[in-house]
Amino acid sequence: MDVRTTTLQAPAPAPREHRPSASPRRDLTGVRITTPRLLLAAPIGADIDVIVEACQDQEIQSWLFVPLPFTRADAERFVRETIPRGLAAGTDAVFAFRLQDGGPLLGMVSITNITSSGTRDGVTAEIGCWSAPWARRRHLTSEAVLAAARWAFGEMGVERLEMLICVGNRASIHGAQQIGFTIEGRLRSRRILRGERVDMWVGSLLPSDLE
């Protein structure tokens, strides 16, 4: 099996004239990102039980599109099937983040729906995240989101990142704005949560926002 591993030190976005604008889709299996405190990499089998524990949290169940009840089978399918499939296709990169010196998974950040440069709107993607209860109020999730965004801009040539947040989730809105996202508006009945259509706030982050 051809597994490529890339370790990145959360680089700043490349200058506009050097930023990749036509990066071809490629297998993203093995991509790793580092920050001063964190390591971001695809979750492994040993993370499954921790993911199950974290996803019992009321905040995660209230605002995230996770199955209810969230079972070990759901976590196994996500780690062993869904994530590897998206990485191999080059359309979705899901990272677990943890402290560089080890320890349990602290949360996850995803860059999904990565389009190709040949599409009408160029290279865009959606970013999402969640933090485990034991990782909150330490600014770790913001650090992970920024690192993943810089990777998307610098390595994948993404020109616009969108974050969709359920209306009412003010903690996530505040966190997104602190990172640099611009909240652009409200999308009515944008997604289905627990069988009901819900409104979503949409925020955007551009490479220039991090320069």
Segment 147-161 mean pLDDT? 97
pLDDT band at 128 (very low <50, low <70, confident <90, very high): very high
Least trusted range by pLDDT, from 24-28, 123-127, 197-201 = 24-28
Least trusted range by pLDDT, from 22-36, 120-134, 169-183, 186-200 = 22-36
Q: Environment class of residue 72 by beta-carbon count within 10 Å: exposed (0-12), middle (13-18) or buried (19+)?
A: exposed
- In the chain the domains, ranked by start, together with CATH numbers, are 6-158 (3.40.630.30)
Does the pLDDT value for residue 207 go beyond 50? Answer: yes
The Cα angle at residue 94 between residues 135 and 19, in degrees rounded to 5: 110
Considering the entire predicted model, what is its pTM?
0.86
